[in-house]
Amino acid sequence: MTDSGCGFFMSKTGILKLLVLISGCACWALYAASRQYRNPSIKVYAFAAYIISWAVSLLLYFFKITGLHLHIQSECFTFNTFDYFWSWLSCINYIVCSVIVAIFFGNGDPLCGGSGRFCSFAMQLTACVLGFVTAILYAIEAQNMKSYAPVGAGYGTTWRGIWKAIILILGGLAFGLLIKTGYRCGSDCTIARTFVLVAWCVAWGVAALMYLLRLITCPARMSANRQVGFGTFEFFWSAFACLLYLVGAAVLAAFLNCKRFRSTGCREILAADICGWVTAVLFAIDAFCLREHRPVWFVNRRVQSSGGGSRTVTTTTTTERRTRS
């Protein structure tokens, strides 16, 4: 099997990239037909990002099919390495844009006669679903090409790295929408929403810092004991961040101050609360996946004999499972 031409077209990588192109094209085409990309400006960004990711992927596919990629190789950064990184970046890009499209789901211009609302809703909903499907296909493509990743730089494209990125995306959208909507809404309401904002920012900030340390392979350079400590801290922080987002989402739900959700502000604050709940669930799943790094505390009871009789001595021992973080 060759690396270009018909050999690439029939290969697993070629078929995956073709599926990505078909799904991505259908996504932005339906989004364009629904005319939901015009206002606000963040929806324009989502539409442009869809097209840019798809267009570059199409160009890479064209280079592979025609064999032009063989003439633009570099010793320090190969064409396949760039293709691998672009698949990973496009996966994150499509996830972000699809979440934005879902948050700003709204009415469009009449397209199917009458009010046209059903047709517009169907197009926008289909585009949103296809966006998530395309992101999944990009993730599978990146996993299939992970052998081209530079040594030590592949954490971001592993399943755990992508999972962490999704958590950071939704968590950032949660407090970002809260800031955009405004957290000043009366004395008690302002205090409650400020608490939610601080809790979410702290949970997200530390998680983002640990993700950055993973990307630059800092834990891999640590000693064995420190690697165990980093994994343990990561486990505890995922569990603690789950609680912070869970409590924050519950408090924000109590102070939505919206009887109806027809206004943009009420929809945004509701979307922020939903993102908070989902982020809490994702942090809980992340902590469950990191359970092998948790310390194991147990109590040993032994009986010691003495001249006057026997006595029970309780010894608390702390052990940690040393695993590869």
Question: Domain-by-domain residue ranges, the chain?
Answer: 1-150, 154-287
Tens digit of each residue's pLDDT (9 = 90 or more) over 60-91? 888 888 877 777 666 656 788 888 888 888 88
The per-residue pLDDT for 75 is 61
The per-residue pLDDT for 83 is 84
The per-residue pLDDT for 295 is 67
The per-residue pLDDT for 85 is 82
The per-residue pLDDT for 231 is 78
The per-residue pLDDT for 155 is 72
Tens digit of each residue's pLDDT (9 = 90 or more) over 138-189? 988 888 887 776 655 567 667 788 788 888 888 888 888 888 777 777 778 8
Q: Which residues of the chain have pLDDT under 70?
A: 1-7, 9, 39, 72-77, 106-120, 149-154, 156-157, 216-228, 261-262, 264, 295-325
The per-residue pLDDT for 270 is 84
| 3-class SS letters over the chain | CCCCHHHHHHCHHHHHHHHHHHHHHHHHHHHHHHCCCCCCHHHHHHHHHHHHHHHHHHHHHHHHHHCHHHHCCCCCCCHHHHHHHHHHHHHHHHHHHHHHHHHCCCCCCCCCCCCCHHHHHHHHHHHHHHHHHHHHHHHHHHHHCHHHCCCCCCHHHCHHHHHHHHHHHHHHHHHHHHHHHCCCCCHHHHHHHHHHHHHHHHHHHHHHHHHHHHHCCCHHHCCHHHHHHHHHHHHHHHHHHHHHHHHHHHHHHHCCCCCCCCCHHHHHHHHHHHHHHHHHHHHHHHHHHCHHHCCEEEEEEEEEEECCEEEEEEEEEEECCCCCC
The per-residue pLDDT for 178 is 83
The per-residue pLDDT for 117 is 57
